A and B are shown apart, each in its own frame.
Chain A
Amino acid sequence: MSSDITLEQLKERLAALELENTQLKSELSSNSSNTKPAESSNTQTFEPSTSLTLEEYTRYGRQLTVSQFQSIPGQLSLKNSKILVIGAGGLGCPALLYLTGAGVGKIGIVDDDVVDISNVHRQVLHDTTRVGWFKAESAEWYLRRLNPNVDIQTYCYRLDPLNAFDIFQEYDLILDCTDSPHSRYLINDVACLTGKTIVSGSGVRTEGQLSILNFRNSGPCYRCFYPSPPPPNSVTSCKDGGVIGPVIGLVGVMMALEAIKVLTGWYTEETFKPFLGLYSGYDGLSQSWKCFKMRGKKKECIACGDASNEGKLTRELIQSGAIDYEVWCGVINYNVLKESERITAGQYADILGKFKEDGHVLLDVRPKEHFSIVHLPHSTSLPLDKLRRISDKAQLPFDTDKPVYTICRYGNDSQYATRYLNDTFGFDAKDVKGGLYKWSMDVDDKFPTY
């Protein structure tokens, strides 16, 4: 900020911003109280429309004239539909954007997370001014301006086995825009038991996948495709693996289109063919889309198969908490070190002062892409994956006579690295708790976090 701004000017600016903030908040709460049904809104009637308003003819004119959309009946199908979008992130935002624009009658948004500045590059309904808001409410704020005809309901809490059935029953179609296997299995099971079709998308780094599951209770479900969950260490999130905004955005947009096709009856039980689409943003020098023909519904499936199947899921079973989805999908145990093998960021700062940069070794065990973003200048890059392939001490790319410390982004991989170093080579290595994130918080606030 330029230094010729006076204190008075700053105070005036602050007062103006505070006023704007108050106005926006009251605007939001009045919007919410007008249109947000109470929790028990499943008793509310959602009157089917048999006609469009004049405004709707004009607003939807460009899609109404496309033959595949099926004209007024197509638009009325959307207007009389209720969809539930779970996750208002990289997939949910673009899907919501187009489905709200297209005029779906009612849209529910489930997300317990709040907007972080690192979301905004891809989660296009949120913006810099709404960091800290619930994602569902930030999405609602945008979507109400986009299309006031759409009834939007937010659920700012996590979908769980207890609340899922009541929420699902209010909707016709589910969009799975979540980011972990355990939520995908929960959504699948509840959708199968409540008879809802799921449009499912996912993505990480440069690739995305798209499918329609449990189509009108006759197509295969997520468990038909994946009867057992993947090992937890093979699951990469967007936070860890990174994601290119337009890649996940495209998948979200494709989900919106599939939702429109399901709602307007483009697919029927006779014509629908199970598929898995795979988009790749960096396929050599081009982009690619592959569409695989998939298996049908499996009779022996415990979610969508025959009721007589052993272990067949029921609403009672799920609501009783008999299935702990997170545990079933596996939890990675990060607590592999003794307290004596760990130091805090502050303690590491003291060690750096005592040993100086060349009197010890600091191994940064993050992947090289992370190291190249930012690192401590005296640290040595040795990604955990690479370290674990070294079994001969002579191959370690650092001076093994010096005290060794390990660091990573948040202090998870550094624990594994320390465990491996101490067990394999008999070192007395220590990891820095909380990693570079804590270094930035506690020691050097100029050190970038990402």
Chain B
Amino acid sequence: MSVNIKLEFLGGLDVIFNSERYHKVTVPSTNASTPLILRDLIKYIVDNMIKDPKDIEVFIENDTIRPGILTLINDTDWELEGEEEYVLESGDVISFTSTLHGG
């Protein structure tokens, strides 16, 4: 079953997503018997939403979200929710925020 997800790209990450911070996406199911997980969503974002291949390294390093980007599932750190194995549900808000260093 496909899921409807609200995506947030914060901390300046929106630059690689057409400078739009908020997106609504429908992630199509790949296999009817296995639920969609966060890893599928990340692949969906890389395959469908990042227009320029050069921007992928801004988002991904060693096949996962690159250091310096925090991933939040419904306003909660993904570490508390199973990280990439988290089972997506329609209505979830998934946020990615780049860490800021300036002061």
Contact surface of A with B, Cβ cutoff 8 Å: 87, 89-92, 176-181, 184, 201-205, 207-209, 225-231, 234-238, 241, 243, 248, 276, 278, 280, 283-284, 290-295, 388-389
Contact = CB atoms under 8 A, between A and B. Distances in A.
A208 B98 CA distance: 11
A36 B61 CA distance: 48
A293 B77 CA distance: 6
Contact of A231 (B66, B79, B101, B102): B66
B67 A278 contact: no
B100 A231 contact: no
B11 A180 contact: no
A292 B103 contact: no
Scoring B11, B52, B54, B102 by chain A CB atoms within 10 A of each residue's CB, the highest score goes to B102
Contact of B101 (A180, A284, A388, A389): A180
A184 B101 contact: yes
Given A231-B61, A293-B75, A293-B76, A207 B10 contact: yes
Interface string B69-103: 01010011101100000000000000101111111
B58 interface: yes
Interface of B: 10-12, 21, 52, 54, 58, 61, 66-68, 70, 72, 75-77, 79-80, 95, 97-103
B68 A234 contact: yes
Identify whether the interface residues of A are mostly helix, strand, loop, or mixed: mixed
Contacts of A228: 67
Given A207-B11, A225-B70, A230 B99 contact: yes
Nearest to B21: A283
Contact of A295 (B58, B61, B80, B100): B80
Given A292-B77, A295-B77, A92 B72 contact: no
B11 A209 contact: yes
Given A278-B97, A295-B80, A229 B70 contact: no
Contact of B10 (A87, A278, A389): A278
B67 A178 contact: no
B54 A389 contact: yes
A202 B102 contact: yes
Contacts of A177: 103
B100 A204 contact: yes
A368 to B, nearest CB: 13
Contacts of A293: 75-77, 80
A207 B103 contact: no
Given A90-B102, A238-B103, A292-B76, 4 more contacts: A181-B101, A202-B103, A243-B102, A292-B95
Contacts of A248: 102-103
Nearest to A91: B103
B101 A202 contact: yes
Contacts of A176: 103
A292 B101 contact: no
A80 B99 CA distance: 34
A292 B68 contact: no
